[in-house]
């Protein structure tokens, strides 16, 4: 797998259909997480509530061959009345996005704010 210096390079290297999804998701994440650190961490674009990449991680975006995963580090803990989040490792949960139409800005913003608040609480400890 190629290593990318930044999120822009990662997105630019994606196939067009996946890039369309990830590019549509990025401004939603940035708007919901003002002041967060957007960076490449372990090969994927991530957003952190901490002061540096990899500290108090909130979410990630990762492209696979036919979809983009949008994952929340504490996704299993947040309120998801939609039932769209699927449990992943530890406390993580994710949703698979196959097109930009799969992105619900209002729902994702709610998830992101909840996930950010959980990380902010963790930082305060």
59-111 confidence digits (pLDDT tens): 999 999 999 999 999 999 999 999 999 999 889 999 999 999 999 999 999 99
Tell me which residue range forms the domain holding 49: 7-124
Q: How many domains does the chain have?
A: 1
Taking alpha carbons only, the member of 43, 42, 52 closest to residue 9 is 43
Give the pLDDT confidence of 8-25 residue by residue, as tens digits.
999 999 999 999 999 999
User: The sheet that has 93-97: what strands, in order across it?
Assistant: 37-41, 44-48, 57-63, 68-72, 93-97, 86-87
Q: Is residue 1 part of a domain?
A: no
The confidence band for 124, taking pLDDT boundaries of 50, 70 and 90, is low
pTM above 0.75?
yes
Q: Is residue 2 part of a domain?
A: no
Which CATH number goes with the domain that contains 40? 3.90.1150.200
What tokens were used for 67? 């979809």
Cα–Cα distance measured from residue 101 to residue 8, given in angstroms and rounded to the nearest whole number? 22
Q: Is residue 98 part of a domain?
A: yes
Q: Is residue 104 part of a domain?
A: yes
């Amino acid at each position: 797998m190629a290593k990318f210096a930044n999120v822009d390079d990662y997105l630019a290297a994606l196939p067009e259909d996946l890039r369309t999804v990830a590019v549509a998701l990025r401004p939603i994440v940035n708007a919901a997480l003002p002041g967060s650190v957007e960076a490449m961490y372990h090969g994927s674009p991530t957003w952190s509530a901490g002061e540096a990449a990899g500290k108090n991680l909130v979410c990630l975006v990762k492209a696979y061959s036919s979809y983009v995963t949008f994952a929340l580090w504490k996704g299993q803990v947040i309120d998801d009345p939609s039932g769209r989040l699927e449990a992943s490792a530890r406390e993580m949960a994710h949703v698979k996005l196959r097109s930009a139409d799969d992105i619900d800005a209002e729902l994702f913003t709610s998830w992101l704010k909840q996930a950010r608040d959980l990380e902010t609480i963790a930082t305060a400890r």
